[in-house]
């Protein structure tokens, strides 16, 4: 929590509101959480304080770690606070630089992703990934004609966001299925799926993290040798060894708000998916295997493996 900071009331209230929005999922998606973190740092930089570094670092840490599986925001903290400065403008410039880094990487990744979308293709996607949506839209606007099948993605129905955005952009062959229909769709009904496109909240050495339900989809795809493309910029790489304790659990009310008293729930938000032969990562460095992520991410963004100045003090 952002507490104990000497800030003007309005600025403090806005920063607390940003933190609350991240925690309650009003702000969703890795990019949006990272941008919200940058917005909080910028707000803090507008506050007159003698301890610029310590104040802004506390704000950044609280926002970036409000949800544990947000390395895109957490790597922003690593990048921005490598050095200590008494000048707030220094941190504002670092925020601008990191934001540009995100958009440049996403643009390169999008160009790569469009290359594997073909006329007549049938593609499955799970949850809502702004990157996956933009790839589909870009390919459509280039004149490619294909079908998209999206899962509704329980319990918060992010798949509805996906299909609405695709329809709003003019795509004409978009379907929505319940999450439990995926295995049946692929194995029993033998619907030809040319590829599965997924986002990622976190990349690690041996696997990636995405919305709950992703693991079952990937295991089915592996058995049937269906290609899986995880679309993620390498700025989402977490250099720490993956720990299942970072998987967030949500309130059972998201599943059943009027549940009988005494009912227990098991509510992980994410799955951890080990890299497999049929899984490839669409990144700003092209289409790569999971085994290459560590070396490429730390080569491209050396600050990812470095401690911030604050972690030494």
Mean pLDDT of 262-280: 97
Contact 36, 27 (CB under 8 A): yes
Q: What is the CATH number of domain 111-300?
A: 3.40.50.10470
Strand locations in the chain (E):
122-125, 147-151, 174-177, 195-198, 202-203, 207-211, 228-231, 270-274, 279-283, 286-288
Buried b (16+ CB within 10 A) or exposed e, 145-181: ebbbbbbbbbbbebbebbbebbeeeebeebebbebeb
More confident: 134 or 191: 134
Mean pLDDT of 68-93: 94
pLDDT band at 6 (very low <50, low <70, confident <90, very high): low
Is it the case that residue 48 has pLDDT exceeding 70? no
Is it the case that residue 172 has pLDDT exceeding 90? yes
Work out whether the CA dihedral 225, 231, 235, 237 comes out positive or negative: negative
The answer to whether the bond into 71 is cis (omega within 30° of 0) is no
* pLDDT given at position 179: 96
| Structure tokens given for 284 | 């700003």
Contact 234, 293 (CB under 8 A): yes
* pLDDT given at position 250: 92
* pLDDT given at position 310: 44
Q: Where are the domains of the chain?
A: 9-107+302-312, 111-300
| Percent above pLDDT 90 for the chain | 83
Helix then strand then coil, in percent of the chain rounded to 5, is 50, 15, 35
* pLDDT given at position 69: 92
Mean pLDDT of 77-91: 92
Is it the case that residue 286 has pLDDT exceeding 60? yes
Is it the case that residue 49 has pLDDT exceeding 80? no
CA distance 229 to 178: 21
More confident: 36 or 49: 36
| Structure tokens given for 230 | 């995880």
Mean pLDDT of 119-142: 96
Phi, psi of 71 (to 5 degrees): -65, -25
Mean pLDDT of 216-224: 96
Contact 33, 22 (CB under 8 A): yes
Mean pLDDT of 246-272: 95
Helix/strand/coil for 54: helix
Can you give the pTM of this predicted structure? 0.90
- Which segment of 39-48, 196-205, 225-234, 295-304 scores lowest on mean pLDDT? 39-48
Architecture of the domain made up of 9-107+302-312: Up-down Bundle (1.20)
Domains 9-107+302-312 and 111-300 share a fold: no
């Amino acid at each position: 929590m952002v507490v104990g900071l000497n800030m003007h009331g309005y600025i403090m209230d806005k920063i607390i509101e940003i933190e609350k929005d991240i925690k309650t999922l009003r702000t969703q998606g890795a990019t949006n959480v990272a941008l919200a973190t940058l917005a909080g740092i910028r707000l803090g930089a507008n506050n007159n304080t003698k301890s610029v570094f310590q104040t802004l670092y506390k704000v950044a840490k609280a926002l970036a770690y409000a949800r544990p599986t947000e390395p895109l925001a957490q790597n922003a903290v690593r990048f921005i606070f490598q050095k200590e400065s008494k000048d707030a403008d220094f941190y504002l410039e670092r925020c601008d630089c990191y934001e540009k880094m995100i958009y440049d990487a996403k643009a390169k990744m999008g160009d790569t992703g469009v290359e594997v979308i073909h006329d007549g293709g049938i593609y499955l996607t799970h949850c809502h990934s702004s990157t996956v949506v933009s790839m589909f839209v870009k390919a459509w606007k280039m004149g490619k004609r294909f079908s998209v099948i999206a899962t509704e993605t329980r319990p918060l129905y992010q798949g509805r966001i996906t299909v609405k955005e695709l329809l709003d952009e003019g795509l004409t062959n978009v379907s929505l299925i319940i999450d439990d229909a995926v295995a049946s769709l692929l194995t029993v009904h033998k619907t030809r799926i040319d590829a599965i496109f997924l986002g990622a909240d976190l990349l690690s050495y041996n696997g990636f993290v995405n919305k709950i339900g992703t693991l079952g989809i990937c295991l089915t795809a592996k058995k049937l040798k269906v290609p899986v493309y995880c679309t993620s910029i390498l700025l989402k790489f977490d250099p720490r060894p993956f720990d299942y304790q970072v998987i967030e659990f949500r309130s059972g009310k998201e599943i059943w708000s009027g549940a009988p008293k005494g009912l227990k729930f098991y509510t992980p938000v994410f799955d951890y998916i080990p890299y497999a032969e049929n899984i490839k990562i669409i990144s700003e460095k092209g289409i790569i295997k999971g085994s290459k992520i560590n070396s490429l991410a730390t080569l491209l963004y050396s600050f990812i493996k470095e401690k911030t100045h604050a972690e030494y003090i």
